Amino acid sequence: MMDSIIKIENLIFEYRKEEEEQPVKAINNISLEVEKGSFTAILGKNGSGKSTLAKNLNGLLLPTGGTVYVNGYNTADEEHIWDVRQSAGMVFQNPDNQLVSAIVEDDVAFGPENLGIEPAEIRRRVDKALEDVNMGPFKGKSPHLLSGGQKQRIAIAGVVAMKPRCIIFDEPTAMLDPKGRKEIMSIIKELHEEGITVVLITHFMDEAVNADRVIIMHQGEIFMDGTPAEVFGQGEKVKSVNLDVPMAVELARALRQRGIEVPEKIIGTEEMVEYLCQYK
Ligand code: ADP
Ligand code: MG
């Protein structure tokens, strides 16, 4: 049996603006478990329900139907909402919307302060979290003077300082330049290596190859679920919902057509480079 940190049972989520309006069904009966310490990438075109699912994972949205458990807590259980929020941190697309203070260290302290943690412990956590995201020297600076990637690192530090078991990243690199993207991805990988469960929503296929599980969503349902090799190995199915496959997967397919038997497990650019270099 899976030792899961997130357990979703028959989740349905409908947005309803006005009583008389037809509700929009954004999540249509999803059941899913996420294993402790795992790294899951969630893909899907715009409107497939990814952000709605993410917000259901830390109680920002509550199910219309079904149940979501985080670290054993039912997200609909008001008594445990802070346990849920503390267990599953969220990082969103736009870092500007996540920064609340005029000074970096105050920003990072905001989450732990809300958890009622004592000041000395908060200071330790803030220093450690800023170190984790390589932003230690920016402690006393104003977030507004930072680049998009640096701001996103501060937002991540704010979540890390709450010591979550799990972090859900909702397209954290979508607004960043390639350098910023790389920095954020390497921090996500490090956090995963330190034992944090990572759920990464992304539309960059090259980010998804870092995960140990890939889930593709389509029209509020789970369309595919497997290892990156299993999912991207079915290129036609992936493309049928208007998603790309990683560049290395495309290249491997073309090479196979020319008789070079590239192993199925090669899905990342780095692995492909290693593989091709043996022919040097
Ligand atoms: P994704 O993150 O995959 O782009 P979303 O979860 O944002 O998808 O959206 C899923 C569906 O829910 C879409 O049809 C979208 O239009 C709808 N939706 C999202 N947010 C709202 C909202 N606040 N009010 C009404 N409908 C919404
Ligand atoms: Mg979204």
Question: Residue type for 48, please?
Answer: S
Task: Kindly state if the Cβ of 89 falls inside 6 Å of ligand 1.
Answer: no
Does 22 contact ligand 1 (Cβ within 6 A)? no
Structure confidence at residue 20 (pLDDT): 74
* Cβ of 197 below 6 Å from ligand 1: no
Q: Is any atom of ligand 1 closer than 6 Å to the C-beta of 24?
A: yes
97 lines ligand 1 (CB under 6 A): no
Yes or no: domain 4-245 corresponds to CATH 3.40.50.300: yes
The pLDDT of residue 280:
83
Residue 210: per-residue pLDDT? 92
Q: Where are the domains of the chain?
A: 4-245
Assess contact for 32 and 6: CB atoms under 8 A: yes
Q: What was the pLDDT predicted at 59? A: 94
pLDDT score recorded for residue 119:
96
Nearest atom within ligand 1 for CA of residue 201: 2
Ligand 1: residue of 12, 18, 24 to mutate (most ligand atoms within 8 A of CB) is: 24
CA dihedral 163, 170, 148, 45 (to 10 degrees): 170
Residue whose Cα lies nearest atom 14 of ligand 1: it is 47
- What is the predicted pLDDT for the residue at 80? 96
What is the 257 CA–ligand 2 centroid distance (Å)? 36
| Ligand 1 atom nearest 54 alpha carbon | 6
The confidence score (pLDDT) of residue 180 equals 92
**What residues have a C-beta under 5 A from ligand 2, the ion?**
50-51
Of 200, 203, 199, nearest in space to 243 by CA = 203
pLDDT tens column, 93-132: 998 988 989 999 999 999 999 889 999 999 999 999 999 9
pLDDT digits over 228-269, tens only? 999 999 999 999 999 999 999 999 999 999 999 999 889 999
The ligand 1 atom nearest the CA atom of 55: 6
Q: Is 102 in the pocket of ligand 1 (CB under 6 A)?
A: no
Sites in the chain below the pLDDT cut of 70: none
Closest protein CA for atom 16 of ligand 1: 47
